[in-house]
A and B are shown apart, each in its own frame.
Chain A
Amino acid sequence: MKLRELAHSRTGDKGNTLNISVICYDAQHYDHLRTVLTPERVKAHLRDVVRGDVVRHELPAIAAFNFVLGNALGGGVTRSLALDAHGKSLSSALMDLDVEAPAS
């Protein structure tokens, strides 16, 4: 199934660093996504865009993750040649990720 069916997301930018939140619709899916949605997998999925490291921060109190993606904005919002210099549309790219369905 697509990640989009389990979670929603918003992208933010600071300098040349991007963050993408992944927020479970149902808190019961948090542990499942914690297992399958590794930073390595996120980096592989967004490999055309992210040149740096991907770090995952965990927020169990709101059943969410915050992925921080280094060197992901073509040198930074203010100087990028990209059509979407802020990388704002990348949350939708992550929602297209195929993930294993949770047990329940």
Chain B
Amino acid sequence: MTATQPQRRVRIGAGAGYSGDRTEPAVELAQHGALDYLVFECLAERTIAIAQQARSKDPELGYDPLLETRMKAVLPAALRNGVRVISNMGAANPLAAARKTAEIARSLGLGDVKIAAVTGDDVLDVVRQGDFCFVESGERVADYKDRLVSANAYLGASAIVDALAAGAQIVLTGRVADPSLFVAPLIHEFGWRMDDWQTLGQATVIGHLLECAGQITGGYFADPGFKDVPELARLGFPIAEVGQDGAVVITKLAQAGGRVTEATCKEQLLYEIHDPQRYLQPDVVADFSQVRVAQEAPDRVRVSGGRGTPRTDTLKVSVAYFDGYIGEGQISYGGPGALARARLALDIVRERLVLTGVETRELRFDLIGVNALHGETAAVGYAEPYEVRARVAGRTTSLAQAVQIGNEVETLYTNGPAGGGGATKSAREVVAVQSVLLPREHVTPAFSMVEA
């Protein structure tokens, strides 16, 4: 024992920022990051509903489709280096994901591995039987009864903390608030109280900064000439070095591409938040308004000042339901008069959909290259583009009518303006998501252990 023992640091890396994210940056972190934890956030709003549909066809499915790929790539280095893995890749079936991961660990000869599955987020029965209204639209959930696909509460950190305390080396969850995937190992390591709101607020800042992986190391940031980022093809994912009091430095591996600056940290801090003083999370109401960032060395940024107030009595629940169909078609025009021909193409399809009796609840006509992203007025004052892509999208109640929309775009080949090319069409069933607020007493987070 020495009197001036350096403060203990916990090192957490982010292994994925969304379900389809790159794989190699996580492997690089597992190998060279000297990490304690590697966290994969892979569950978008609608992903779990799609996974639920897979599970209803096969009870051993319903977890993230890339689970196997990621685990095979990462586990050898992670387990060799004592890195514990936490992920919401369990999606609609955390238990099956844990069993699959155990099978992978066995097949790789990785020895005894303790894998925990966190459950309790699936509240479809509660939502189906209760009297709830959607937060944004105010509509009654009961009116959607026959079309509901899934309902999952955003769990907090507690069940993950319990699983880590029980010795889990890998924790797989379904719906958990993204920052809580990172808050949990910090609570476990530092023994923070679940009502230490200030510290949990700072921990939420850390989780929020890491949850989109490359978005804080220079991904989704570059704007040549204004904000340049080196080596985006080899973008490294972030590491947080966290102290007992929640003090944190965000950094990356020196050999990895990208950069960590005050600007990249600020952009990610404000990503997907509304009122910065009240960022509602299951563990705490986080306050980002006093957060400060300070570059202390190249690719090392200190982030401080996260605060919090007591958590609310309700949990957000994402409710997914079938919401009709979307049909779409696109076709391109180039050269002199491209814009006029694309406009003519849209006019023709508009009239054809009426003539052929395609019933739509909503229709949209875009000129990609002109007004598809930001509307008509944004393009005023800009020169006419050399090439334009006409796009028609519509909402229908039947798949057959959705298919007709794409067909009417495709038939522009032989029936429409001159020089149309590259037509594409698609039709899909829509799984829409809205939120309800559920009193906490309806939700019982738990974990169960699977041994490989």
Contact = CB atoms under 8 A, between A and B. Distances in A.
Interface of A: 4, 8-10, 12-17, 19, 21, 23, 25, 46-49, 57, 59, 61-62, 64, 66, 68, 75-79, 81-84, 89-90, 93, 96
Specify which of A17, A23, A76 lies most central, judged by the most chain B CB atoms within 10 Å of its CB.
A76
B270 A21 contact: yes
A87 to B, nearest CB: 9
Contacts of B272: 12-14, 19
B80 interface: no
B275 A81 contact: no
A49 B374 contact: yes
B305 interface: yes
B394 A10 contact: no
Nearest to A65: B270
A78 B291 contact: no
Contacts of A16: 136
B364 A82 contact: yes
Nearest to A89: B373
B289 interface: yes
Contact of A79 (B267, B371, B430): B430
Interface residues of B, number: 55
B263 interface: yes
A49 B374 CA distance: 7
Contacts of A13: 272
B264 to A, nearest CB: 10
Contacts of B376: 48
A78 B137 CA distance: 14
B270 A93 contact: no
B93 interface: no
B289 A61 contact: yes
Interface stretch (B120-128, B182-190, B194-202, B219-227): B219-227
A76 B226 contact: no
B74 interface: no
